[in-house]
Each structure stands twice: as C-alpha cells, then as structure tokens.
Amino acid sequence: MTRWPISSPDDRDAALDTLGRMARAQLTGSVSPQEEAEARRRLRTQLAREPHRESARRRAKVWIGAAAVAAAAAIIVVRSPWLRRPALTFDVDLPVVSERDYIHVPITAPSGHVAFSDGSKLTLSPGCRGRIVALHPDGAEIGLEDGRASLEVVHRPGTRWSVAAGPFAIQVTGTAFDVRWSGARETFEVDLHSGSVTIRGPLAASGIELGAGQKLIADLRASQLRIERLTPNTQAPTSWPTRTRPP
C-alpha cells in the first residue's frame, strides 16, 4: 500500500502499480464462448485463404517490381543526354555578320540568310540586326532588334519557334512571314504569307491570332494596331538562294 505523500521513485512505482492492477482487473480480454467460437471459425477461414493471398501478394510484388523497373528505364531514356535530340544549329551566309549569337546585315549590303539545321530559313534585310537567343531541338528563339526579317519555318509536330521584336512576341508553328521592327519609330509589322502565328505585345496583351494573307501593323506612338489583308504587291519573303551547306 502506498503512503501519501510519495517520497521515492519506489513509492511512486508502487502507487502506479495500484492503478495498473486496477486496469489488469478490468481489461481481462475474455470473450464469450460464442465470440470465441466465431473468432476461431474466422481464423480458420482466413488461414484457408492465405495460400491464395500469398500467391496474389507474390504476383503483385512481381508486377510492382516490373512497373518500377519500367518506370526507371523510361526516366533514364527520357533524361539521357545521348538519347535526346540535339538542338538545332545554324549557318550564316554573307553578308550576314555573325558574332556568336548576334547577327546583322550592313545597310549597304544585300539581304542575308541564316539556315537552320531543320530546314527553316531566316532572311534579314539590309540594316537588320538581331540575335539567335536560344536553339532547341524543336525550334529557336529569335530576337529582332531592328529592321525587317522573313522567317520560313518547316512545320513539324511540336515545333517551337518564336520571334521577339521589340516589345512584341510572335509564337510560330509552321509558317512563312516577314517581320519588321523599328525601334526609332516604334512600329511593328508582320506580313503572314502562310500558316498562322500568335502575336503578343503592348497593344495585344491577350494575343492576336494572325492568319495567312493578313498583315498586322502596330504603331506604339500612336497607340494604333490594325490588321489588313495582304496586298498582292506586298513583298514576299526574300527568295532563298541555292547554296551548299558546309558539312
């Protein structure tokens, strides 16, 4: 029997034993004969099913293992650099002056051309300057700083081309168009010869879809943007010269 106040750990343990004995007396875990018989029957039923469950568990483990191996293999394949398609490359023809990603055509020279490895072509008019901002396996990002350029994109599933001209951005799928940006006059023009593009910019924040045969003209100083039908005399993309690409 414990005495109050408790003075030592032994006394405390003895007092807790008192509670423990009370719990022991109450929590006997006994069940009625009927419940016992039912539990016994239930166990026998479950034991009889166990061999089937065991084989099902083994099959599930095999499938889970196979799925894990397949998933790991898929990740390896997708992420392997040697299995990834290489990014596009480009070659420039004179008179295009290229310094790393920066390209420009002198004002006194004829049009210049940039040939991409997927067959797409960029033509730069005299005085045009810009940048090949990024090259991807499925396309490229071109930045037009000033002047007029024509782009002919070879359409393939999943192509990803874009042209940024001043504050405007053109999303391209497969198409041929001319684009002109004048930083001095703050004017932007797109002549779309085939396909479709989406243009986003200061006067087209939510994006404007341009179809074949349409021309978009934006004048930022006048805050005007209009879309016209291309006139027959609108200059088509500069003809592409026959050339032999270096190996």
Partner 1 sequence: MLVARQEPTTIDDATLARSAMSGDAGAHTAIWDRYHPVVRRILRRTMGPGSEVEDHVQEVFLRFYRNSALLRNPSALRSFLFGIALRVAASELRSRRIRGWLRLTPDGTLDDYVGPHDAAPEQADADAREAVKRLYAILDRLDTECRLAFVLHHVEGLELLEIAAALGVSLATVKRGLTRVSARVWASAQGDRLLIEYLDAGEPASLEKLR
- Judged by the rule CB under 8 A, the positions of this chain that interact with partner 1 are 1-4, 6, 9, 12-13, 15-32, 35-36, 39-40, 42-44, 46-48, 50, 54
Q: Shortest gap between Cβ of 67 and partner 1 (angstroms)?
A: 24
SS3 143: strand
Q: Shortest gap between Cβ of 68 and partner 1 (angstroms)?
A: 23
Cα atoms in the Cβ-side hemisphere of radius 13 Å centred on 217 = 8
Q: Are 90 and 132 in contact (CB under 8 A)?
A: yes
Q: By C-beta, is 21 or 61 nearer to partner 1? A: 21
Q: Shortest gap between Cβ of 52 and partner 1 (angstroms)?
A: 13
Residue 167 carries which DSSP code? Answer: T
Residue 246 carries which DSSP code? Answer: -
Q: Are 204 and 218 in contact (CB under 8 A)?
A: yes
- Closest listed residue to residue 100, CA positions, set 127, 135, 136: 135
Q: Shortest gap between Cβ of 28 and partner 1 (angstroms)?
A: 6
Position 247: which residue type? P
Q: Shortest gap between Cβ of 40 and partner 1 (angstroms)?
A: 6
Q: By C-beta, is 25 or 78 nearer to partner 1? A: 25
Q: By C-beta, is 51 or 157 nearer to partner 1? A: 51
Q: By C-beta, is 17 or 209 nearer to partner 1? A: 17
Q: By C-beta, is 5 or 232 nearer to partner 1? A: 5
